[in-house]
Amino acid sequence: MSSPMSSFPGSHQEYRTAAPAGISVLGMAAPLLDRRVLEDMERDFPDSMVVARFADDFCATLQGKLDRLGAALGGSDRVDAHDAVLSLTSSAAMVGAQRLSQTARATERQIAAGDLEAAARSLALLCGCGIETRQELQRTYLTHH
């Protein structure tokens, strides 16, 4: 994740601080899953199984979202890549998949900047994070519902 460029007083150079996608500027990885998001959602529905189905649907559709992003990046389709990564980002955030959402936002910034090559390189990281997220959701949430 990049912070805005800043100029230091008395210098004529600009410095950019950056951390890898999914890592905060303090060097700590975002948690894979924030269960509070799902717990909050459960309070909004009379039947908690609605939320469990939502989480299960997220797991079931995650690979398709990643495949769509990969195809768009492979075809250098910036518009479809942007749409695909926004879909991934928003669905990850809605289910509490913090690290995946954060990593997808970093990829979205690369796409918005027109750097499809960097975005394509980040796809392996997104896929790995997606696998870990799906496993975490299944292990810590879905097996209890």
pLDDT per residue as tens digits for the range 89-120: 999 999 999 999 999 999 999 999 999 999 99
| Alpha carbon distance 29, 80 (integer Å) | 28
| Alpha carbon distance 88, 26 (integer Å) | 25
**pTM assigned to the model:** 0.79
Query: What b-and-e string marks burial along 22-41, b requiring 16 or more CB atoms within 10 Å of the CB?
Result: bbeeeeeebebbbeebbeeb
pLDDT per residue as tens digits for the range 39-91: 999 999 999 999 999 999 999 999 999 999 999 999 999 999 999 999 999 99
The reported pLDDT for the residue numbered 26 is 47
Question: Is the pLDDT score of 9 beyond 80?
Answer: no
C-alpha dist (Å) from residue 70 to 17, 52, 57, 65, 114? 28, 28, 20, 9, 15
The reported pLDDT for the residue numbered 28 is 72
